[in-house]
Structure 1
Amino acid sequence: MTTREDAAALVRRMQECFNSRQFDQAADLHTPGFFNHPLGTTGFEAGKDAWRAVTARFPGMRVVAQDILVDGDKAAVRSTVEGIAASGGDAGPMLFEIFRIHNGRFAEMWGASAGFPASASPEDLLTNPEAS
């Protein structure tokens, strides 16, 4: 079973890799068979490419975990997104992710976002890369 402390440390390490743009170091935080459900891919390479695409569009983007909830081998994370203006005066952009953790590494990820400007959500950028 994953402890809240272990899950929180893993999430924070991943976010630090993202925020410092040390994408290659994040690969070690994922199992070789890591499955990214939003991208429909196995392995971390597609996720790393997605990180590069979104940070190219929003160079000042940072993610900060606000809540990390752990249940068994799953961790649910609600993160604020800094460096992107909220659309229409709404609350700032947020990421909602659920991770399955296996042997101290991310094995699967599900995710959604809210509050991003039109056509600038991570989902839009990943399915429509020419928008970046």
Structure 2
Amino acid sequence: MTTRDDASALVQRMQECFNTRQFDQADDLFTPGFFSHALGTTGFEAGKDAWRKVVAQFPDMRVVAEDILVDGDKVAIRSSVDGIAAPDGDAQPMLIEIFRVDDGRLAEMWGITEGPDPRIT
């Protein structure tokens, strides 16, 4: 069983891997069968590819956890996104992600972006 503190630390470590561009350091945070509903993929390799693409387009991008909520095996995180110029005074993008934790690792993810979308299209 993953504790509330363990689950919170897990998503914070994931964000630190992104923010420091140490993408391979995140491998151990995800289960082998990790499923991203946002990407429609299994395994974290597609997630790392998406991270690489987004930072190639926005090299100063950082995510900052604003709220982390834990309920059972689910962790919800609302994050602000820094390092992306918002057009004409628009609000900075916000990410809302929900993760399912299995045996201390991220097993499944759902996510949406609010505001200007930093994803690569």
Fold match (TM-score > 0.5): yes
Number of aligned residue pairs = 121
User: In structure 2, what is the Cα distance between the partners aligned to 1:89 and 1:48?
Assistant: 30
Fraction of identical pairs, as percent:
72
| 8 Å contact from structure 1 (residues 2, 70) kept in 2 | no
Shift of 1:92: 1.2
Deviation string 1:92-130 (CA, Å, 9 cap, x unpaired) is 1110000000011000000000111xxx432xx1xx3xx
Unaligned runs of 5+ in 2: none
Post-superposition offset of 1:87:
3.0
CA RMSD of aligned residues (A): 1.1
Greater RCO structure (CA 8 Å; 6+ sep):
2
**TM-score normalised by length of structure 2:** 0.95
- Residue aligning to 1:45: 45
- Structure 1 segments unaligned to the other structure (5+ residues): none
TM-score in terms of structure 1 length: 0.87
Could you say what secondary structure the match of 2:2 adopts? coil
Distance 1:71 1:113 in 2: 21
Trace 1:1-132 onto structure 2 (pairs within 5 A).
1-116=1-116, 120-122=117-119, 125=120, 128=121
Q: Which runs of 4+ in 1 moved over 3 A?
A: none
- Whether the 8 Å contact between 2:35 and 2:42 is mirrored in structure 1 is yes
Q: Which has the higher helix share?
A: 1
